[in-house]
Structure 1
Amino acid sequence: MGNEFKEGTLDLANFIMADLKFTVGDNLLKCVQCGMCTSTCPGAQHSNYNPRDMIEKILKGETSIIDDEDLWYCFYCYTCHSTCPVGNSPCQANQVLRQIKISRGEADAHLRPFLGFGYSFLNNGIGGIPSNFFPEMREDIGEDWWNFKCDLDDIRENLGLGPVIPPKETIDEVSTILKQAGFEKRLEEVKRIKDNEKVEKSTE
């Protein structure tokens, strides 16, 4: 996000519409509160997350919505985006609200589970499932998936495809860009907080 949200300087709806993550412009202002987004939202079916209510509070300028923990139950499946009759995008508005929390350093607890994804991107040059998830996935999905995973490079070679992991020069280039953008620094900040909490728990 280019600018940090500061209450009293720019109203919340305009801030969201000006953000690059929000691609539907002033369609945010066209919300008719029909509830289509909430009725089709998988997150709303299994939690108290309510995208219709979120948009209503944004349009009313209720900045308390930024601190609503239910925002983190959005899956970013974009169902609301595709079903809204006026072309609004509650999921993109949600992304901007979350980013405000992240920029303030107030969302580390929600970011920690994704540290592995961040380091995988930094070290391998591509997004992917971190290896620490493999044991649980092997148990949930089964041995066929695990065998496929282990033999993936051979399978790709037989199909005439290159390896999944890009060449070293590509990895180095991506890693350099991410480091220059502050990505590695942010990962280290979240990891440090996580490690400190582990130490505190072990001394209790």
Structure 2
Amino acid sequence: MKTIKLKKESVQLVKNVLKDIKASPDLGIYKCVQCGMCTSVCPGAKETEYDPRDMIRRVLEDDETVIDDDTIWNCFSCYTCNSVCPSGNNASEINQILRQMSIDKGEGMKKIVSFAAYGDSFMELGVGSIPSNFFDVMVKDIGPEYMDLKINIEDIRADLGLGSYILPEKAIDEVESILDNSGFKDRLKKIKRCK
């Protein structure tokens, strides 16, 4: 374990993280003892170069380059790190805040542009749905059964005694109004311009 000695003048990044609206009031970043428990259980760390302990260290050391580090995008936001942290810290939450900082700087937009189609599905259907531009990947990962499911979903739901998953037009209009008034629609347009 490496002891981190904080200097008064070098905690601006920590302050920015803590004042973010997504930061829990009891976020234990200052209590981090760099034990590595978060990294030891992190599925992202097992499969990539992402290291939650190192990310926290960099935030505590006021290393703003962590915001532009590609590895922060390898966090699965599964909160496993939080479940084992002896200090009550939450690397996943801090990671999400850093990602938003990256998006706000414009760099992170490139990382999320491929997911803009999910936003389109909310606007069009009123619910989240896997966009058609991901179908090939789903078939590759799951097999041709995926397309059979997509094509026959209404019949399958009927056989199970379930109603349609398609929202009534009025509900779709209400969701679209909420997304428009909340700024989601404008933000989606901004993301799409990064293509």
TM-score band, normalised by shorter chain: 0.7 to 0.9
**Cα distance in 2, alignment partners of residues 30 and 170 from structure 1:** 46
Tell me by how many angstroms 1:24 deviates: 5.8
Q: Which residue of 1 aligns with 2:173?
A: 172
Secondary structure of the structure 2 residue equivalent to 1:25: coil
**Cα distance in 2, alignment partners of residues 83 and 26 from structure 1:** 14
- Aligned residue-pair number: 186
Tell me by how many angstroms 1:64 deviates: 2.5
- Aligned amino acid, residue 138 of structure 1: V
- Aligned amino acid, residue 143 of structure 2: G
Query: RMSD across aligned C-alpha pairs, in angstroms?
Result: 2.0
**Cα distance in 2, alignment partners of residues 56 and 40 from structure 1:** 17
Cα 1:64–1:165 shift into 2, 3 Å: same
**Cα distance in 2, alignment partners of residues 57 and 143 from structure 1:** 44
Q: Which residues of structure 1 form unaligned runs of 5+?
A: 1-7, 195-204
**Cα distance in 2, alignment partners of residues 24 and 42 from structure 1:** 26
Percent of paired sites with the same residue: 46
Q: Which residue of 2 aligns with 1:199?
A: none
Q: Which residue of 1 aligns with 2:99?
A: 98
Tell me by how many angstroms 1:186 deviates: 2.0
**Cα distance in 1, alignment partners of residues 66 and 127 from structure 2:** 33
**Cα distance in 2, alignment partners of residues 191 and 138 from structure 1:** 25
**Cα distance in 1, alignment partners of residues 147 and 64 from structure 2:** 46
Native 8 Å contact 1:24 1:89 kept in 2: no
Native 8 Å contact 1:19 1:96 kept in 2: yes
Q: Which residue of 2 aligns with 1:121?
A: 122
Q: Which residue of 1 aligns with 2:192?
A: 191
State TM-score, norm by structure 2.
0.85
Q: Which residues of structure 2 form unaligned runs of 5+?
A: 1-8
Tell me by how many angstroms 1:34 deviates: 0.7
- Aligned amino acid, residue 19 of structure 1: D
Native 8 Å contact 1:24 1:88 kept in 2: no
**Cα distance in 1, alignment partners of residues 95 and 176 from structure 2:** 28
CA distances 1:1-43 after superposition (whole Å, capped 9, x unpaired)? xxxxxxx9x8222332233323362422211111011111122
- Aligned amino acid, residue 136 of structure 2: P
Native 8 Å contact 1:138 1:145 kept in 2: yes
CA distances 1:33-70 after superposition (whole Å, capped 9, x unpaired)? 11011111122223221110111121222222222221
CA distances 1:55-91 after superposition (whole Å, capped 9, x unpaired)? 1121222222222221111121222122222221101
**Cα distance in 2, alignment partners of residues 142 and 106 from structure 1:** 34
Native 8 Å contact 2:27 2:90 kept in 1: no
Q: Which residue of 2 aligns with 1:36?
A: 37
Cα 1:73–1:173 shift into 2, 3 Å: same
35-44 vs 179-188, greater mean Cα deviation: 179-188
